Amino acid sequence: MEKETVYKVKIEKEQQGTRIDLVLSLALPDTSRSFLQKLIGSGAVEIDGKVCDSKKYKVEEGQEVVVTLPQPQELSVEAEDIPLDIVYEDGDLLVVNKPKGMVVHPAAGNYTGTLVNAVLYHCKGSLSSINGVIRPGIVHRIDKDTSGLLMIAKNDAAHASLAEQLAEHSIARAYNAIVYNNFLQDEGTVDAPIGRDPKNRLRQAVTELNSKRAVTHFRVLERFGKFTHIEARLETGRTHQIRVHMAYIKHPLLGDGVYGPEKNPFGAQGQMLHARLLGFVHPTTGKYMEFESSLPEEFEKILEKLRGNV
C-alpha cells in the first residue's frame, strides 16, 4: 500500500480570508494547484479536525489545516523523447537552451513534458541524485515562461561544485528583458530583499518580512519610449527576482501578467525574459566556461516592431 505524508499548516493573520486551495499551493509549492484541488474534493484535507471538501473555502486565522498527501510518485517520472537544444555537453554536465513554455521539473499531478523528462531520455539515467528522482541533475531553475540557458549535472560531484558556485554568487547569469517605461539612467542596481508578498501570498515582493537579500544589476540596451530593452545580471537568485525587482522600480516586464499589466499591446505570451548568458567554472577542469543563447523568435519580432521595422 502506498505510503502517505501528512502536512500541517497553521493559518497566519495575513492569510485570513484566503481560499484553501491557494493556501495549500503556497505551503506545498512543488504540488500543482489542480492536484491539490482534487485532494480537497476527495476528503484528504481537514480544517480543525473536520473534512473540508470545497476548494473555495476561505480560511481563518488560527485554524490548523491537515492535508494527507500521497507519497510523490517519483518512480513514475519517465524518460521522454522530447527534443533538446543542447548548447554544450561532456561527461560531467550539459548546458541546454530551454524553450518558453516548458516546465523544468515534474511536480505532483504534472509528471510529463518537462525538461527533466527530456533530460532523463537524453542522458539515459546518468544524472546527479542530489535533488532526488523528481529533479535529477537540476542545479538551478528558470520560470516556465522564461526561455534560455540552464546547466544540468550528470554526477553528484559536478552538482556539488556548481551548487557551491551558485551559493557564492560566482556564476555569471545575464538575461535580456523588455520592460515598460523609459529609464533616466543607462545602468543601475536594485538591492532590495525579496520574500512572499504579505498582501498576496501567491506572489513574491520586495519586503522585510521573512525575506532574503536580492541584488540585480541592469543596463539599458535600447530605448523605445514606452518600452526599454535591458540586460539584467543576477548577483543573487531569488524566485522571480528580475520580475519582482523590475516591477518594484516601476519597470515591469512586458507580458508579465503577475507583476505587470495583464494585457499587453504585443500579445506576448508570458514575460519577455530570456536567460542569454551563463558562465561558470567547470567542476573537473577548473576552467571558466561561458555560453550565450540567441533571443527567441517571439522576442526578436517584438523588438523589430518596437524599432519600427515591421
Q: One of 21, 143, 145, 256 is an active-site residue; which one?
A: 143
Beta strands in the chain, from DSSP E residues, in sequence order: 4-10, 45-47, 50-51, 64-70, 86-89, 93-98, 147-153, 172-180, 187-191, 194-197, 200-206, 215-223, 227-234, 273-281, 288-292
Q: Among this protein's residues, is 92 annotated catalytic?
A: no
User: Which of 138, 156, 170, 166 minimizes the C-alpha distance to 284?
Assistant: 156
Q: How many helices (H) and strands (E) does the chain have?
A: 6, 15
Helix (H) or strand (E) holding 245: helix 241-248
Tally Cβ neighbours within 10 Å of residue 137: 27
User: Which of 101, 236, 247 minimizes the C-alpha distance to 177?
Assistant: 247
List residues with catalytic annotation. Answer: 143
